[in-house]
Amino acid sequence: MHGSATLHIKAPPSAVWALVSDVTRIGEYSPETFEAEWLDGATGPEVGARFRGHVKRNGRGPTYWSPCVVVACEPEKEFAFDVGLSGKPVIMWRYELEAAGDGTDVTESFRLHDSFLTRLYWRLLGWARGKTNQRGMQATLERMKAELEAR
């Protein structure tokens, strides 16, 4: 009930971090989440900060807002957030950064939280959703790479 994609970006970890941790810019890169906004007065990433993402499932719909909370925030290393109602997250999305050679290796990953419903969902539809998530993560990272390497 998880997957990941890794890409090398010829940019320092600080530049990659600034991009992956700014949820207000995710709509520029993600094939599904076309906008996001910080909530409750939050203006940037920190553990416990809440935001919501506006999602167009599979790039076609349905369209809905997803509540999110930052669960890991280590500048230039890791940014992760849970998606789902408070106290009942469904999935965690994570970006991990590692300085490598002339830039940064960045890994985007997802992991469904373990529950009866997520196990059932993954068993019935996970093969399709896993492929969609894999393509989406790769597309997101490729778009970020294109922007960062064009600077």
CA distance 60 to 57: 6
* Domain that includes residue 43, residue range: 2-150
pLDDT single digits (tens) 50-87: 999 999 987 788 899 999 999 999 999 999 999 998 78
As for how many domains the chain has, the answer is: 1
Q: ∠ CA(105), CA(111), CA(112), 5° rounding?
A: 165
pLDDT single digits (tens) 12-33: 999 999 999 999 999 999 999 9
Q: Give percent of the chain with pLDDT exceeding 90.
A: 80
CA distance 50 to 65: 13
pLDDT single digits (tens) 77-121: 999 999 998 788 999 999 999 999 999 999 999 999 998 888 888
CA dihedral 94, 100, 102, 105 (to 10 degrees): -20
Give the CATH number, domain containing residue 91: 3.30.530.20
Place of tokens 């890991």: 72
pTM for this prediction? 0.94
